[in-house]
């Protein structure tokens, strides 16, 4: 009897459970029915706005993050390049001024003894700061020049797909460096001419300020003079920048393949940059002589006649001074200052860039937390 009594209870339990399930389904259906349906347009088509909104928001955030990252990369390259160029040029400013003075003079043969005498005479006559005369013009030029050069090099590497996916694209590596040099030189050339004018004159008979250089040239010689020697500079910067960047990037690549470390230390970067400086200076030095002669024609007392063309300047130098004493005059000085400047520039750029990237990541991580 007890068993017979228990069976209805089981049936009642099942029935009760079923009713609960049924009520749950009904309730769920009611909830589903209460959910607003997708809106219909005038033609009666349902839109999926409610579904696409989160996806569109995610895509928009992704695009915003991508743009922010690209802007950060450009800013980091600009700041790193500017700092690297300023430090390198300030370090070798006295040697640079000495080199330019010998480059534009055909009556004084170059030697280390003569260069030391020039430094001593300048110091005795005008003081120690005279050794950095024209450095303000150099900074006004080199800060934007180096910033644009390093930044444009990064962009040209991306455009030309240099060494992507493990490829060894040596030709593109050289072209990217050359295009970076052309880009930066074209945008800052008048400042380079002003720096050369200030370097070969003293404060008493020449130009006192950078502003005076531009105003005097504009009034006395015309605005076209600000770009005198431009094409000689462009022809020279193609082998110089191309060889420099190519040598430095190639040495870093070989270092990575041999050592396995993608980031060489500061001393190794300095050595690689020095090698790049020697190669670049040697490849482009004759055209560097030509552009300096063309830039300083009006203020150089040893050049009474103007040499307005590249070919005319080349012929004049060859006839009067020869190949060694003309086109390679002061090259040994460049082999000293060039490696120092380029080594400091490349190694400082890599160091500051890595530091700024790390700082940017830390800042972004704090913002997300």
Using an 8 Å Cβ cutoff, are 137 and 211 in contact? no
Q: Which residue has the higher pLDDT, 230 or 333?
A: 230
Mean pLDDT over the full length of the chain: 79
Alpha-carbon distance 242 to 280, whole Å? 8
Residue 303 has pLDDT above 70, yes or no: no
Please give the model's pTM, rounded to 2 decimal places.
0.72
Q: Residue 198: what pLDDT?
A: 81
Closest CA to 236 of 198, 197, 189, 274: 189
User: What tokens were used for 176?
Assistant: 């990217």
Tokens of 124: 């005795």
190: closest CA among 147, 225, 148?
Answer: 225
Do 89 and 341 contact (CB within 8 A), yes or no? Answer: yes
Structure tokens at 76: 């980091």
Write out pLDDT tens, residues 29-39. 434 444 444 44
- Indicate if the alpha-carbon torsion angle 110, 116, 122, 128 is positive or negative: positive
What are the DSSP E strand ranges found in 14-149? none
Q: Which residues of 58-81 are buried (b: 16+ CB within 10 A; e: fewer)?
A: eeeeeeeeeeeeeebbeebbbbbb
The CA-based angle 249-252-254, given to 5 degrees, is 110
With a CB cutoff of 8 Å and minimum separation 6, the contacts of 64 are none
The answer to whether 84 and 352 are in contact (CB under 8 A) is yes
For 30-77, what is each residue's pLDDT tens digit? 344 444 444 444 444 444 444 445 667 777 777 777 778 888 899 999
Average pLDDT over every residue of 104-125 = 79
* Res 15: pLDDT: 39
d(CA 22, CA 351): 70
Tokens of 183: 């880009």
Is the pLDDT score of 201 beyond 60? yes
**CA angle centred on 132, ends 96 and 308, rounded to 5°:** 50
- The ranges assigned to domains in the chain are 133-227, 231-329
DSSP 8-state code for residue 46: B
Helix (H) or strand (E) holding 134: none
Question: Residues 147, 85: contact at Cβ < 8 Å?
Answer: yes
- As beta bridge partners, residue 46 has 40
CA 338 to chain centre: 18
Query: In whole angstroms, how large is the CA radius of gyration of the chain?
Result: 34
Is the distance from CB of 203 to CB of 215 less than 8 angstroms? no
Mean pLDDT of 272-282: 92
On the 0-12 / 13-18 / 19+ scale of CB atoms within 10 A, 132 is: middle
- Token digits of residue 24: 């749950």
Residue 283 to residues 47, 56, 241, 242, 280, Cα–Cα distance (Å): 66, 54, 10, 10, 5
235: nearest Cα among 310, 177, 292: 310
- pLDDT(352) > 50: yes
Does residue 296 come out as left (phi exceeding 0), alpha (psi in the -120 to 50 range) or beta?
alpha
Question: How is residue 155 written in tokens?
Answer: 């962009």
Quote the tokens at residue 30: 């009611």
What is the pLDDT at residue 32?
Answer: 41
């Amino acid at each position: 009897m007890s068993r017979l009594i228990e069976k209805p209870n089981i049936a009642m339990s099942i029935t009760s459970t079923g009713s609960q399930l049924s009520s749950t389904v009904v309730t769920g259906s009611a909830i589903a029915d209460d959910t607003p349906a997708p809106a219909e347009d005038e033609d009666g088509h349902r839109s999926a706005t409610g579904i696409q909104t989160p996806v569109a928001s995610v895509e928009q955030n992704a695009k915003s993050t991508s743009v922010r990252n690209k802007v950060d990369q450009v800013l980091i390259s600009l700041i790193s390049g500017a700092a690297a160029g300023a430090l390198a040029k300030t370090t070798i400013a006295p040697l640079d001024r000495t080199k330019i003075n010998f480059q534009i003079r055909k009556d004084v043969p170059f030697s280390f003894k003569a260069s030391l005498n020039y430094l001593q005479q300048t110091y005795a006559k005008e003081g120690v700061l005279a050794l950095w005369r024209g450095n303000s013009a150099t900074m006004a030029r080199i800060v934007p020049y180096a910033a644009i050069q390093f930044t444009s090099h990064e962009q040209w590497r991306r455009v030309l797909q240099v060494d992507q996916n493990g490829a060894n694209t040596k030709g593109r590596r050289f072209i990217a460096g050359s295009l970076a040099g052309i880009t930066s030189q074209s945008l800052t050339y008048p400042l380079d001419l002003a720096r050369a004018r200030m370097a070969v004159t003293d404060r008493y008979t020449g130009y006192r300020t950078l502003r005076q250089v531009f105003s005097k040239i504009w009034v006395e010689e015309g605005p076209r003079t600000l770009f005198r020697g431009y094409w000689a500079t462009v022809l020279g910067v193609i082998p110089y920048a191309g060889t420099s960047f190519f040598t430095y990037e190639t040495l870093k690549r070989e270092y990575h393949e041999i050592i396995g470390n993608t980031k060489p230390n500061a001393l190794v970067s300095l050595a690689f940059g020095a090698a790049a400086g020697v190669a670049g200076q040697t490849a482009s030095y004759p055209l560097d002589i030509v552009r300096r002669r063309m830039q300083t024609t009006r203020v150089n007392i040893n050049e009474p006649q103007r040499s307005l063309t590249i070919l005319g300047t080349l012929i004049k130098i060859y006839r009067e001074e020869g190949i060694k004493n003309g086109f390679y005059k002061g090259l040994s000085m460049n082999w000293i200052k060039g490696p120092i400047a380029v080594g400091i520039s490349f190694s400082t750029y890599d160091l500051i860039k890595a530091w700024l990237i790390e700082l940017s990541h830390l800042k972004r991580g704090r913002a997300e937390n």
